[in-house]
Amino acid sequence: MEIKSASFVTSMSSYAAPGPALPEIAVAGKSNVGKSSLINNFCRRKALAKTSATPGKTRLINLFLLNEAFYLVDLPGYGFAKVDKQEKLRWGGMMEGYFRETNQLRLTLHLVDIRHEPTQDDVQMNAFLRGSGLPFLVIATKADKISRGARMKNLAPICRALQVQPWQVICYSSETGDGRDQLLEAIEKALAEQAE
Ligand SMILES: Nc1nc2c(ncn2[C@@H]2O[C@H](COP(=O)(O)OP(=O)(O)O)[C@@H](O)[C@H]2O)c(=O)[nH]1
Ligand SMILES: [Mg+2]
């Protein structure tokens, strides 16, 4: 698979199934983990998804249409330190609403920063996906920020916290495009499996 076309479809504060109905690949993770950057790098587009050095900007669900064949769903980031209880509840409602309402979800990409041990929020997100029986793939982002030699060492606490094996994790750099081929393959597989 190659990405031949990518376009922004819509932003929404609560999920409503888009038309036409097509398979969806969701992108979840903490604020600032690199969700928007990964979407841009994956689509080979500079500013398809808005990135920010200030966390907590994406409070909406953003939908992108790829190859006229499937949607990437940029979910609102969690774990933003400065949000109050109200905001947390709103976030939870949005996420729950998405996972409840969509009939098209094929795979959730769960992004975590390769440099840090997963937080309580990361573990909760992982537990939610696992508990709901939703297929997910752990992506360790910002892989360019550590040396290749340090990858295995950094993956250890991530794998322990999220109960996955190192070979199940894709190390991704939105700076260098490292991991993009692996992700293309994984998405292609997820889209094909459900079409059977
Ligand atoms: N070096 C490096 N920086 C990254 C990478 N991905 C994201 N960033 C930076 O991390 C910050 C947050 O990225 P963004 O994509 O907006 O995160 P989001 O909140 O999860 O959508 C931005 O300053 C990005 O430039 C990466 O793979 N490598
Ligand atoms: Mg974002």
Q: Tell me: the pLDDT tens digits for 98-135? A: 999 999 999 999 999 999 999 999 999 999 999 999 99
- CATH number of 170's domain: 3.40.50.300
Instruction: Kindly state whether residue 157 falls inside one of the protein's structural domains.
Output: yes
Report percent pLDDT > 90 for the chain: 77
**Is the pLDDT score of 196 beyond 60?**
no
What is the Å distance from ligand 2's center to 194 Cα?
27
Burial class (CB in 10 A: 0-12, 13-18, 19+), 141: buried
C-alpha 195 to ligand 1 mean position (Å): 32
Does residue 1 form part of some domain?
no
In this prediction, residues 62-88 reach a mean pLDDT of 86
The answer to whether position 153 is within a domain reads: yes
Question: Closest residue (by CA) to atom 4 of ligand 1?
Answer: 142
Residue 168: the pLDDT is 97
Ligand 1 pocket at CB < 6 A: 29, 31-37, 51-53, 55, 58, 77, 141-142, 144-145, 173-175
Q: State in Å: Cα 58 to ligand 2 middle.
A: 5
Looking at the structure of the chain, the number of domains it has is 1
95 vs 55: which has the higher pLDDT: 95
Nearest CA to ligand 1 atom 16: 51
Q: What is the pLDDT of residue 164?
A: 97
pTM (two decimals): 0.95
